[in-house]
């Protein structure tokens, strides 16, 4: 992947009205800092990966249940996130 493609993927394309989060090409972009995230769930699986560019820190949670990732993510946010 070229730097141009990576930049295009994290360029805001729209904004979610209730949270202010911006959306690039497949990535959620935090409205107040340099965090970029991917997330999703389906029957039997849930996932979120957040990369904080300013700290060069990535946190990823994958669960084999639809709702399993979210409690772990809340605990991580309470200890790892700024």
What are the tens digits of pLDDT across the range 12-44?
999 999 988 899 999 999 888 889 999 999 999
The predicted model scores a pTM of 0.78
What are the tens digits of pLDDT across the range 62-77?
999 998 999 998 898 8
* 49: β partners: 38, 60
The yes-or-no verdict on residue 82 having pLDDT over 70 is: no
Question: From CA 67, how far away is CA 54, in angstroms rounded?
Answer: 29
DSSP 20-51: --EE-SS-EE-SSSSEEEEEEEETTEEEEEEE
The pLDDT value given to residue 60: 93
Q: How many helices (H) and strands (E) does the chain have?
A: 2, 6
């Amino acid at each position: 992947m070229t730097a141009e493609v990576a930049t295009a993927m994290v360029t805001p394309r729209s904004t979610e009205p209730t949270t202010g989060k911006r959306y690039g090409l497949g990535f959620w972009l935090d409205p107040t800092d340099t965090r970029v995230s991917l997330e999703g769930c389906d029957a039997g699986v849930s996932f979120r990966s957040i990369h904080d560019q300013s700290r060069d820190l990535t946190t990823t949670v994958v669960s084999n249940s639809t709702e399993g990732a979210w409690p772990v993510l809340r605990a991580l946010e309470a200890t790892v996130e700024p």
